Structures are given as structure tokens and as C-alpha cells.
Homo-oligomer: A and B are copies of this chain.
Amino acid sequence: MFVCVVCALASPMNAVSESLLGFDAEQETAQRGLEANFDEQLSADDLRAWMQHLSAQPHHVGSAYGKQNAEYLQGLFRSWGYETEIERYDILLPVPEQLELTLLEPRRFGATLEERTLEEDASTGRRDDLLPPYNAYSVDGDVTAELVFVNYGTPEDYELLARYGVSVEGKIVIVKYGRTFRGIKPKVAAEHGAIGTIIYSDPTDDGYARGDVYPKGGFKNDSGVQRGSVMDITRYAGDPLTPFEPSKKGVERLSRDEADVLAPIPTLPISYADALPLLESLEGPVAPAAWRGALPITYHIGPGPAKVRLTLKFDWRTVPAYNVIARMKGSKYPDEWILRGNHHDAWNHGARDPISGLITVLAEAKAIGQLAKQGHRPGRTLVFAAWDAEEQGLIGSSEWVEDHREQLDKHGVVYINTDLNGRGFLYLGGSPTLEVLYNGIMADVIDPETGLSVADRQRARMQVTGNDKVRKEATRKNLRLRPLGSGSDFTPFLQHLGVASANSGFGGEGGGGSYHTLYDTYEHYTRFHDPEFAYGVTLAKVNGRALLRFANADVLPFEFNAFAADMKKAVEELEKFADDMRAETVRVNGLLEDGRFTASLDPTRALQPPEAKVAVPHFNFAPLQNALGGLDGAAAAFETARGEGSPAGSTLRSLNKLLYTSERLLTREHGLPGRPWYRHHIYAPGFYTGYGAKTFPGVREAIEQRRFHEVDEQIVIVADILEVFAARLVEATQLLSPSTATQ
């Protein structure tokens, strides 16, 4: 059967974008005309030229080319009519002086720690100012110990390790990249007593087991090493020495010893070529099936006989980070700021990370500058930002947010972030209040490969490849945005300050492997990720619409039924999580008491039964359930009232302020337990995942980490937050429609 795209276009798959939230019919016509005009300004050739320039040399924070790029970016923004400035922060940056890893026993092998220059990729020969593969914010150290293989190094991996009778106390762990943010790996290893961490990229995750390796294909070859920060961004992001404060002259700085975000033990990333001799020298129990990678060996856990020496010495410099900020003052509501950012620093040439995202910001800024020149200056103030030092720990953005906290608190409407981009499907995370806005956009923007709307292509994939749950989600009127964890510059805006945020990028068809390696080059990007910059243009259409709709809508296009629905789903999932954990604990403890684990295990092998666990009590979810009821009603009332027309003048301004500061109400000054910088109580990066989001993190992590005594208290905090949020919606409804709103 032949299925053509034209047939597909005639099918019921094709959704029609609904009327634009915040615009009346006449305004909508004008806005849609403006967006068509915006699209016409976008040029793939621009994107290509900018990428070529920006990724020509390595340009990490503190590098000469990084500074040049900042100035180049400033020049571009200025040429398009923006007020620009470079805001500088002086931040801690460890630069390697000595990186050595030697296998001492059972045979000697010195890790090369080097990435090959490739004839096929000229960029890989341009190595001025190149930082070698390393993990920034590892402590200095010189440690010698037996190795232990710990899979991805999650808490669950250590739990299973204990069942093998293997301790990492006093050992060096070797751990695979993946599953968690890399900074979690030394943190968890150190919690279990390890004295060093070696992180490697197993070919099962982004090497030959996934596809052909570079330069034949896009995946990681045996010399590629993923660099990256191991700062514990789950505690706070930004300069490690200046939490809560901008790292400017005169600010008091912590000593390095006081900064609890540094990786507590020496940590170094290596290639799979360097990992192979280490892993094949391990003995001890054979690793469980789920731990095994794609190297041609039997994976053993250890400890030893493999014994390694790891020597790391850094020059702990203070270097300038240059954020490029470009503003266009709003014609109608200049005090309401729509923020748009992407970082500009890279680990190496950084064609994909971050230039593929940054060039979409430039495209949007240039187009909006041209619209402004044509007389279509946006109604609200736009702030474009190209952040520095994201790679080290979201530092440029975090310092800027800490620096401009009061202004942002007052003026910050929304922050729209990007980072990586490429061919494929839209990965879209964000505050649930942005769900309707982005679904409208996804229905309007056309996917360049299929001619379908971005939304329809997304739904098609969910229906074709998803499990039952995903298929069901695909039939929702609006696709949900993914909850935001961390890993890019939205974190300080959303989670520290409470500015509603979105993060997006296309991907899924380019493959991985170049991330944070020498091979993240223009050559690699244009062969494997977005050869024609078609997805660069498409991403600019997506976020350009978000900017323009936010800039010009009279009533800001936040939508609250989606928020209420998401909170309801999150509470259901939380209760189910607790119930499942309770049932599983009862089940496993029962099997243990009856000796069934012992009975089922091979007595000649190391694996032992798990430890019995404390029973999971029942928690009082009633406050949350009660809050949900109020929230649901308040959201529905607000959305109904919104449909009946909008106010003007100062009432409109008051209404909009109530709306855009509503996200602030999801924060609390005291922050999350043990990590006060994270003040958002609905979404946070998981303390043991790093990038992955936790919903209701105070409650969920108390359950997950079996700190059951904290749970009810955290439930009350979240319930209070949702009640305050509901009250805000009631207040906003009164401004929209004073007669119908009740209190």
C-alpha cells in the first residue's frame, strides 16, 4: 500500500489552529499577517553563515574566540536595531594542568585521553585554545585504588551492587555516561565512599551499537570523549563560589572548600578505547545483564584486580563570562519583558551544542528587527540573551538572573530557551500554562520533511511508536509539554525565580555521539543533523511565534485549565507512585520473610537477597486533593471569563501582572528541603537525576528517598501553593469580569 503525503494531508490528521489566545478576530488577522511576514525574513543561508562563523574555533568561556563570538553577536544584534550590552561576570573555571589515568594492575596501560584529528573534518584540526577532555569542577586529586564497575552510578545501581557484596569504599568507580546528569555520578559514588570516578561513554549508548561512528556516521568513535561539568547543579546553578549572588566585583565569594557543588572526588571522562583495557581487567561477579554495554567483553563488577591511578590537577582560574543582552523596548507594554535565550559558549567548536540553537535566536531577532523597521515594533519589551558559561553549570544565565533578580521579578513575563537543534521531532518542555500557546504554534508551523504540521507529525510518531499510555496522550486535544528538570539556561528563570519557561528543539533523527566531543563541528552538524538548516528555520518559526504572540496579545496567552489538568495528573501519579511503592515493599518483604529470595538464587554466585525495607506508610493527600478542587474551578472560571472579552488600560496591566507573576507563586523563599536555591515547588531537577524533572519534588523525593516523616509536611506546602495559585486566578477573574467572579 502506498501512502503519499498528499493523501495524508487530506486525512483527519490535519488539525486546524484555533483562534489565538489573547487576540480578538481583528487582532488575530493582523498577528497572523505579522507572523507570515516574520517567516519571510528567515533565511537558511543566514543560519548557515552564522554557524560557520561561530563554530569556526573552540570557544569555551574564557577563551579568546569565545570573547570574539560575544562581540560578534553584540554586533549582529546592534545591526538589527537592538540596544545591546555585554554583561560580564567573573567566575571560577578549573583549567586542566595535569590529567593522568594509568592502569597499574593486572597490567600497565596509560589512558590516551586524546581525540583523533580526522582528515574528513578540517575543524578537528583547528585546536587553538582547545580544552582537553575533562570534567569541570572535579576536585584536584591523586588517587590510587582498585576499580569497581557501577553501571550508570544511580542509587539503584549501588543498591544492586550491595547485593553482590561489593563495596566501593576506598575504591575508584568506573561508570557509564547516561541515564543521569554526569554530576550525579561522582556525588553518588562519594556518598558510598568511593575516592575517584571515571566516566566513559559505552558504545551501547552512543557508539557503534547505535549506528556508524564518525566520520562514517554520526555516532561516537572510539576516541571521542564527552566533556562536561560535574558541578552538582541539583543544589544550585551558577558560579560555585557565589550562590544566590552575581559573581561581580565586590561580591563575597565562598572558598572552594565551602562550595558543596564541586564533585567531591576526582572525576575524569574517557573514551571507550581507553575504558576497554580497564573494564576487561576487572574480575569479581559478572555484571547483571542490564549493566552490560557493547564492548566485546564479559563485563565484571570487580573490585579489582584492575587497579588505577588517577591524577588530576587544575588551575582554578577566575575567568570573565560574557553574556550578550539585546533589548527592544515594547511599544505598548514596555515594562513587561519577554525573554529569549540560548547560550553561546561551547566545549569545543560546538556547532550543535549550542550554535544550532543560538542561530535560531539570531534568526528570530533579525526578523523581529526587520519587522520593527517596517513599523511592527512588538508591544512588549523583548530581551534576547546569548549566555556564556552554560556548559560549566548554567553560569552566565544564573549570574544574570541573580544580578537582575528584582527587575526580573517585576518585569519577567516568560523565558523561552533553546539549546540543541536538528532534524526530526519537536522536544518541548515548559510550564503547563504555555501548553495551549505552544499547541497552537505546533498546529501552525509546518514540518519541513513531511509537509505536515509539527503537531501532526508529533502525534503520528506517538501513535506509531508509543506504548498505550503515549498513544492515549496522542489523542489529547493538546499535547502536554514535558516538565522541565534542568540541563539548560531555563533553570535559574524557572526554578530559582519562578518565571514561566519553555525549552524546545527538534531532534531524534540525527543520532548522537558528537555531544561535548571534538567532533561537534560544522562538518558533523551539516552531514548528520540539519544539512539544509531547514529545522533551524522551523525552530525559529516556532519560538518566533511564541515571542510575537506573547509580545502582542492584550491578555497574556497563559492558559490555566491546562495547568489545573497537569496538577491533577501529577497528584494522581504521585499517589499511584506511593501506592505502588507500598505494595512492592510489602511484596518484597514478604518474599524475604518466607525465604523465597534465598530459594530462587544460585547459591554458588555472589548475588544475595535485597535488604528488607521499612514499610511505606499511608500519607495524607487530602490537602492536595482539596486544593485541586479549588484550582480546577478557579481555572475554569478564569478561562470562561476570558472568553467574554478583555479589559483595557490599567486594569489590563494589572490583570497581566497577576497572570505573569502567577508562576512566582509556585516558589517559596525557603526552597526545597536541603537545596534552598531551588525555590519552585512544582518542578525541579531530581536530586539523583540532575536533568530529569521531578514533579512536586519536595513530596516525591521524600517518598523516593524514604524520608517518610517529611512527606505530609511537604504535601501541605504544595497544597498551600496551589490554593494561593487558585486564589490568584479568582483575583484575575474579578478583573476580567467583576460581576461573575466569586471569592
Bound-state Cα–Cα, A423 to B602, Å:
9
Shortest C-beta distance, A250 to chain B (Å), equals 53
Q: Is the CB of B11 within 8 A of A595?
A: yes
Contact B452 A599 (CB under 8 A): yes
Alpha-carbon distance between A604 and B529 when the two chains are bound, in angstroms? 11
Q: How far is the CA of A374 from the CA of B596 in the complex (A)?
A: 41
Whether, in the assembled complex, A290 has its beta carbon less than 8 Å from a beta carbon of chain B, the answer is: no
- A3 pairs with B296, CB closer than 8 A: no
A9: chain B residues at CB < 8 Å are 595
* A372 at interface by CB-CB < 8 Å: no
Determine the chain B residues whose CB is within 8 A of the CB of A295 once the complex forms: 296
Whether B3 pairs with A593 at a CB distance below 8 angstroms is yes
Residues of B contacting A208 with CB < 8 Å?
296-298
Partner of A3, one of B213, B465, B598, B604: B598
Max count, chain B CB within 10 A of own CB: residue among A3, A203, A450, A509: A3
Are A463 and B591 within 8 A (Cβ)? yes
For A12, A213, A289, A596, the residue with the greatest tally of chain B CB atoms inside 10 Å of its CB is A596
- How far, in whole Å, are A423 and B591 apart by their CA atoms in the complex? 22
In the assembled complex, A603 has its CB within 8 A of some CB on chain B: yes
Q: Which of A660-700 contact B (CB under 8 A)?
A: none
Which of chain B's residues has its CB closest to A272's CB? B296
Interface readout for A428-455 with B: 1 if CB under 8 Å, 0 if not? 0000000000000000000001101000
Tell whether, in the assembled complex, residue A298 and residue B213 are in contact, meaning their CB atoms are under 8 Å apart.
yes
The B-contacting residues of A in range 133-173, CB under 8 angstroms, are none
A286 within 8 A of partner (CB): yes
Main secondary structure of the interface of A (DSSP, over half): loop
Point out the residues of chain B lying under 8 angstroms from A461, CB to CB.
599-600
Q: Which residue of B4, B13, B450 is within 8 Å of A594 (Cβ)?
A: B13
Task: List B contacts of A464 (CB < 8 A).
Answer: 591, 596-597, 600
CB-defined contacts of A213 to chain B, threshold 8 Å: 298
Count of identical protomers in the assembly: 2
Q: Is A193 an interface residue (CB 8 A)?
A: no
Knowing A509-B604, A603-B450 are in contact, say whether A286-B212 is a contact too (CB < 8 A).
Answer: yes
Docked-complex contact A296 and B298, CB < 8 angstroms: no
Interface residue A277 (Cβ < 8 Å from any Cβ of B): no
- Give the distance to chain B from A165, nearest Cβ to Cβ, in Å: 13
Known contacts being A298-B209, A602-B423, is A13 close to B450, with CB within 8 Å? Answer: no
| Residue A411, interface by CB 8 Å | no
CB distance from A126 to the nearest CB of B (A): 28
A1 and B611 contacting across the interface, CB-CB below 8 Å: yes
Q: Which residues of B contact A16 (CB under 8 A)?
A: none
Contact of A600 with B457 in the complex, beta carbons under 8 Å:
yes
Question: Chain A interface: which size bin?
Answer: 35 or more
Alpha-carbon distance between A178 and B666 when the two chains are bound, in angstroms: 55
Residue of B nearest to A450 (CB): B599
Using CB atoms, name the residue of chain B closest to A603: B449
Docked pose: A7 CA to B297 CA in angstroms: 40
Say yes or no for A211: interface residue by CB 8 A criterion. yes
B-side contacts of A334, CB under 8 Å: none
Provide the residues of chain B in CB contact with A209, threshold 8 Å.
292, 298
Q: Tell yes or no: A36 within 8 A of B by CB.
A: no
Query: Considering residues A286, A456, A461, A594, which has the most beta carbons from chain B within 10 angstroms of its beta carbon?
Result: A594
Residues 1-44 of A contacting B (Cβ, < 8 Å): 1, 3-5, 7-9, 11-13
State which residues 446-485 of A face B: CB under 8 Å.
Answer: 449-450, 452, 456-457, 459-461, 463-465
Partner of A298, one of B211, B286, B591, B600: B211
| CB nearest neighbor in B for A280 | B208
Minimum CB–CB distance for A426 against chain B, Å: 13
Closest to A217 in B: B298
Within 8 A of B (CB), among A580-634: 591-600, 602-604, 609, 611-612
Determine if B296 and A599 form an interchain contact, defined as CB atoms under 8 angstroms apart.
no
From 192 to 240 in chain A, residues with beta carbon under 8 angstroms from any chain B beta carbon are 203, 208-213, 217, 219
Tell me which residues across on chain B come within 8 A of A457, comparing CB atoms.
Answer: 599-600
- The answer to whether A296 and B13 touch across the interface, beta carbons within 8 angstroms, is no
- Verify A3–B609 contact, CB threshold 8 A: yes
Q: Does A492 contact B (CB under 8 A)?
A: no
Residues of chain B contacted by A636 (CB below 8 angstroms): none
Task: With CB as the reference atom, state the residue of chain B lying closest to A449.
Answer: B603
A350 interface hit (Cβ, 8 Å): no
Contact present for A593 and B11 (CB under 8 Å) = yes
A424 pairs with B3, CB closer than 8 A? no
Contact B211 A13 (CB under 8 A): no
Assembled-state Cα–Cα distance A211/B604 (Å): 15
Query: Does the CB pair A11–B600 fall under 8 Å?
Result: no
Q: Which residues of B contact A600 (CB under 8 A)?
A: 457, 460-461, 463-465
Task: Check B598–A5 contact: CB distance below 8 A.
Answer: yes
Residues of B within 8 A of A298 (CB): 208-213, 217, 219
Could you list 30 A-B pairs, sorted by A, with CB under 8 Å? A3-B592, A3-B597, A3-B598, A4-B598, A5-B595, A8-B594, A8-B599, A9-B595, A11-B593, A12-B594, A208-B297, A212-B298, A213-B298, A217-B286, A295-B296, A296-B296, A449-B602, A449-B603, A450-B598, A452-B599, A457-B600, A459-B596, A460-B596, A460-B597, A460-B599, A460-B600, A461-B599, A463-B591, A464-B600, A509-B604
Closest 5 CB pairs of A and B: A8-B595, A460-B599, A460-B596, A461-B600, A464-B600
- Give 12 A-B pairs besides A3-B593, A208-B296 with Cβ atoms closer than 8 angstroms: A5-B595, A13-B595, A211-B298, A213-B298, A217-B286, A219-B298, A423-B602, A457-B599, A460-B596, A460-B599, A461-B599, A509-B602
A residues in contact (CB < 8 Å) with B: 1, 3-5, 7-9, 11-13, 203, 208-213, 217, 219, 286, 289, 292, 294-298, 423-424, 449-450, 452, 456-457, 459-461, 463-465, 509, 591-600, 602-604, 609, 611-612
